[in-house]
Amino acid sequence: MMLASDTRETAAADSGTEDFGPRQADVLEAALTLLVEGGDKGFTTARLARAANCSKESLYKWFGDRSGLLAAMVTYQASKVRVAGSLNARPSAEEFKRQLTDFAHDLLTVLSGPTSLALNRLAIGEAGRTDAQLGHLLTERGRRAIEERAKKLLDTGKRAGLIRFDDREEAFATLYGLIVGDMHVRMLLGETVPALAGDAAISAQAARAIGKFHRLYAAGDDMTTTA
C-alpha cells in the first residue's frame, strides 16, 4: 500500500519529473496493480476509481485523460526502478565480468517482472494506433536508463583494456541480444520461459550470455576459460 511518502527533492534528471503527490502515487500504484492482474482489458477508469477509493472526476482532474493516466503510470513506474550500479573506474577482469553479469541479471529480472510486462503489453497494444506515443515514452523512460548504465559499463571495460570495440552502439546491441534473445517477446506473448524461472535460472542465463559476450569482445586471449 504505501511506500513511505517519498521525500524526494531534486529528482530532476533530464526532462519531465513531475513528482506526483502522495495521493496520486497511491492511485498510480493501484492502477499498476490493476493493470498487472487485468491487462488493458481489465483496466478501466471506473475500476481504478473503485480500487483506489477515489472518484473518476478526480482521475480526470489529475491526469486529464485516459492516455494521460497511462503516461503517468509509465513515468511513475520508471521513477521507481532507478537503479544505480556501483561503478569502479578501474576494475579487474573478474570484477568487470562480475559487473557485466550483475547487469545481465538485473536486466532479465526487470524485463521478466509482471509490471514491466504489463506496461510493455499496454504500450505495444497502443502502438498500432496513435503513433505509439506511449511506446516512445516507455522506451525513453525505461530503456534509456538501462542503455546508459550498460554503455557506461562498456566504456569502463574499454578504458581498463579489458574489452575492445569500435562501435559502442553495436557492442551494446550485441550484449543485449546475447542476454535477452527472444525471451522478452516470448514472455510478452504469455509464454513461461524456463530460462527465467527463478533467480538461479536467471543467474545461469546471465552468466552464459556474459561468457559469450566476453568471447566476442575480450581484449586479451583468455577466451579459453569457457565453461
Partner DNA sequence: CCCGAACCGTACCGTACGGTACTTGTTTGG
Partner DNA sequence: CCAAACAAGTACCGTACGGTACGGTTCGGG
Contacts (CB under 7 A) with DNA, residues 97-116: none
Check: CB of residue 201 under 8 Å from CB of residue 105: no
Nearer Cβ to DNA (7/86): 7
Residue choice 72, 74, 180, 206 for contact with a copy of itself (CB under 8 A): 180
- Residue by residue, DSSP assigns 5-66 as ---------SS------HHHHHHHHHHHHHHHHHHHHH--HHHHHHHHT--HHHHHHHHSSH
Q: Is 66 in the site for DNA (CB under 7 A)?
A: yes
Contacts (CB under 8 A) with a copy of itself, residues 182-221: 182, 184-186, 188-191, 208, 212, 215-216
Q: Which three cell numbers stand for residue 97?
A: 565480468
CA dihedral 145, 167, 96, 116 (to 10 degrees): 30
144 binds, among DNA, a copy of itself, none (CB under 5 to 8 A by kind): none
**Helix segments in the chain, DSSP class H:** 22-42, 45-52, 56-63, 66-80, 93-111, 114-127, 133-138, 144-159, 168-180, 183-188, 199-217
Contacts (CB under 7 A) with DNA, residues 3-62: 7, 23, 43-47, 49-50, 53-58, 60-61
Nearer Cβ to a copy of itself (99/120): 120
Q: How far is the CB of 112 from a copy of itself (least distance, A)?
A: 13
Residue choice 97, 121, 141, 149 for contact with a copy of itself (CB under 8 A): 121
Contacting residues toward DNA, per CB under 7 A = 7, 23, 43-47, 49-50, 53-58, 60-61, 65-66
